[in-house]
Structure 1
């Protein structure tokens, strides 16, 4: 929990945005209430995904190219508005958001965000929202599809928006009854619901993405690959044959989305392994067994790939998470 109660009033504004930079992302911020600023933030670590519950007086924040060059975590951020009014501008698209609304934006691209309440600075006048940070690689959609959804208002009153918003609110409300291990396990559920919401929004979108048969075909192929990730023998030739296209055509489709077929498969398999290593229920499983379940037949090859992707070997990653979980639980 980050609170400003013990911080001198004149230092609160700078203190707050430094805390935001350290726990979320760095921005250039301003506020009509900088002289008597008040805010609080509750942080939930879900493993690869992080959830923040923020209550704050009105502000404006800009994520600039300069900030991105200095620090780029490679994250999407999804906001759920709980109280007050907020807005986001990214990709020449602007959305004004009311309670229950959701929006997605990319921390690796410039954006402008703002939030407002009644301006009195008392707890009752604060805006409130939830912010989920999701690594780019955790969402398997083509980047071009996600880019078309950035900075759009998505309803949280029904469908996947309501399911996702409800789950995130319950996670915050039930934190005292959930162990650090429980929170880590729910990470995959949050990512899957975000993916379902984005897929639903893409289907509604009348943009060229939805009407482009090649782009929709790539989504169907990726869904097929996801269903067969645990098959070590899965190859580009098999995928092409299953979809009645040539290998060259398959490769060209993925190249248009900035991927190679084998690279996309490999990244999805690594993410499944990372999720498994993050779950304490797998502690009795050797890392080689987990890797084998997701199609990796060479332990040394898997270890190198994992280290290169996540910054540490899989065994160190598992130990690091368990240490964090013990510290969080006070053990």
Structure 2
């Protein structure tokens, strides 16, 4: 395991049966578990990292989990991973043998590097339990207990099972569909950003961008495209001739008419006013009316 920009230290550590508990604090640290270090003998350990302070990012198996205080994620020491803490942080780590979980490899693989939020679903149960372990570690009140070990393994198994079922129900395609529906409903919101969308869907901005990149798009580009399409449809609608161009573009989060005119022309080849006039002439021309022979 390699660290860069290292400025961290272990606050507390304790082993209870098969479980290792530790708390680490620092500033701007990147931890890399590389393929070279993975090749060394590994007993097959899993770790849960719960963020206590600052932002933590877990990357493994092509996924990325962004953790805020109270959130946690699972990662596997037999696979390469990266932990990034871009600011002052404290993280609480629970380490244990993967063989102790009551779930299979497929379920474990599906649960790696996923953000488990402290205020949703099973995370609302497990996060307070982890906080209790941390408090007991800090106060030196933890005692070796088979019951404690069993509780840890049962709860982590429940998390992994829940994530496995969730990934089967919510694939990347379904998530992308959900994101696009959210964007469509929020086009009028001038504060619609990649960060806002990612936060609402409990994923990192980087992962959100990746979903769109797989479709040859960007998040910002998609938002702009949908806004312009909405404006174009309204400009062509003869029932909306009473609305100014500025009023139409502002309906969809484009507050600056001059900027709107520029990007509209870039997209469609003509300024919005000219496009509107063209649509009006088309609507009233004889060739646009239906006739029978």
Q: TM-score normalised to the size of structure 1?
A: 0.48
Larger Rg computed on CA atoms? 2
State the shift of 1:85 in Å.
0.6
Alignment pair present for 1:193 and 2:159: no
Shift of the alpha carbon at 1:199? 1.6
SS in 2 for 1:61: strand
Aligned length: 170
Partner of 2:100: 138
8 Å Cα contact 1:39/1:57 also seen in 2: no
Report whether the alignment pairs 1:30 with 2:4: yes
1:63 to 13, 33, 49: 33
What is the aligned partner in structure 1 of residue 164 from structure 2? 202
Preserved CA contact (<8 Å) 1:90 1:111: yes
Compared with structure 1, are the counterparts of its residues 40 and 179 closer, same or farther at alpha carbon in structure 2 (3 Å cutoff)? closer
2:11 maps to what in 1? Answer: 41
| Counterpart in the other structure of 1:217 | none
Secondary structure at the aligned position of 1:174 is classed as helix
State TM-score, norm by structure 2: 0.54
SS at match of 2:23: strand
Q: 1:107 is matched with which residue?
A: 77
Asked if 2 retains the 8 angstrom alpha-carbon contact of 1:46 and 1:185, the reply is no
User: Is the partner of 1:130 in helix, strand or coil?
Assistant: strand
- 8 Å Cα contact 1:90/1:150 also seen in 2: yes
In structure 1, the gaps of 5 or more residues are 1-26, 118-125, 210-331
Choose which of 178, 181, 204 in structure 1 pairs with 2:141.
Answer: 178
Shift of 1:204: 2.0
- Taking a change above 3 Å as real, the CA distance of residues 201 and 49 of structure 1, as seen in their structure-2 partners, is same
What whole-Å deviation, never above 9, does each CA across 1:225-256 have from its counterpart, x for those lacking one?
xxxxxxxxxxxxxxxxxxxxxxxxxxxxxxxx
CA distance in structure 2 between the aligned counterparts of 1:86 and 1:164, rounded to whole angstroms: 18
**How much does 1:190 deviate?**
0.8
- Quote the offset at 1:179 in angstroms: 4.9
**Is contact 2:28–2:85 with CA below 8 Å preserved after alignment?**
yes
Note closer, same or farther for the CA distance 1:155–1:208 as it changes in structure 2 (3 Å cut): closer
Per-residue deviation at 1:134? 1.9
Taking the aligned partners of 2:102 and 2:59, their CA distance within structure 1 comes to 24
Q: What is the RMSD of the two structures over their aligned residues, measured on CA atoms?
A: 2.1
